[in-house]
Amino acid sequence: MGVVTRGFVGRRDPATANLPPGQYLTPDFPVLSAGPTPRIELDQWRFSVTGETGSEHGWTWQELLELPSKQPIVDIHCVTKWSKLGTRWQGVPLDTLLEPVQTQASYALVRSYGGYSTNLPLADLRGGKAWIAYRYDGKDLPAEHGGPARLLVPHLYFWKSAKWVRGIELHNEDMPGFWETMGYHSYGDPWREQRYAGD
């Protein structure tokens, strides 16, 4: 028996280097939904961005698909402590959808079919950090994971990535969404472990 090397102090295990504090890795893709899965017919589906003055920009399903898309590969972190690394998506960057929108607002309230909502600073939807995703791992996004389309904003805890996304309202003040009203953090940075209000 040789001496077991426990690793060098201060050197991070490459397998967990991308794991925020308090998280564990899962190979699965758990489904977390606060209510039943809504079914939205594609010819009824709309996505809209509503400015703080009430002006609205809307897209049909066909119009969304015609916009240039990206294929981000990102790590996702649920506040219930599972993380999944290297998930593969396809979707339209929010930068593209916000481009025609004239706004002075600083906050976004994201609304879903089915009634879910979540809030975040508008800046967190810009800069290539957020997408309206409609494919996962090379397939159409399954309904239980938010299909036909969900918000994907992986640098925040995954409750911010609203499934069955319907629209984004822009506001001058931060408006708490579903979980934020129940005591979860208004921002939710996994690297700063912002799980609950006050963290």
Note the residues at the interface with ligand MTE (CB under 6 A). 29-34, 78, 112, 114, 116, 145-146, 158-159, 161-164
Could you give the CA distance from residue 25 to residue 36 in angstroms, rounded to a whole number? 26
Classify residue 172 by its DSSP letter.
S
**Environment class of 155 (CB within 10 Å of its CB; exposed 0-12, middle 13-18, buried 19+):** middle
Nearer to Mo ion among residue 79 and residue 170 (C-beta): 79
Q: How near is the Cβ of 179 to ligand MTE at its closest, in Å?
A: 7
Cis amide prior to 38 (ω within 30 degrees): no
Closest distance of CB 68 from Mo ion, Å: 30
Closest residue to ligand MTE, judged by C-beta, is: 116
With CB under 5 A as the contact rule, which of the stretches 12-20, 42-50, 76-84, 100-108 interacts with Mo ion? 76-84
* Residue 143 to residue 4: CA distance in whole angstroms: 47
Nearer to ligand MTE, 52 or 176 (CB): 176
Given ligand MTE, Mo ion, none, residue 31, with its beta carbon under 5 to 8 Å by kind, binds ligand MTE
Instruction: Decide which of ligand MTE, Mo ion, none touches 92; Cβ closer than 5 to 8 Å per partner kind.
Output: none
Hey, CA dihedral for 196, 173, 91, 135, is it positive or negative? positive
Q: How many residues bind Mo ion (CB under 5 A)?
A: 4
Near Mo ion by CB under 5 A: residue from 47, 61, 159, 187: 159
Min CB(51)–ligand MTE separation in Å: 22
If residue 25 lies in a helix (H) or strand (E), which one and from where to where? Answer: strand 24-25
Pick 48 or 103: Cβ nearer ligand MTE: 48
Q: Helix (H) and strand (E) counts for the chain?
A: 3, 11
Q: What is the DSSP letter of 110?
A: E
Task: Tokens for 112, please give them.
Answer: 């879903």
The nearest distance, CB 81 to ligand MTE, in angstroms, is 10
Contacts of 88 (CB under 8 A, 6+ apart): 71, 72, 73, 136, 137, 138
**Binding residues for Mo ion (CB under 5 A):** 32, 78-79, 159
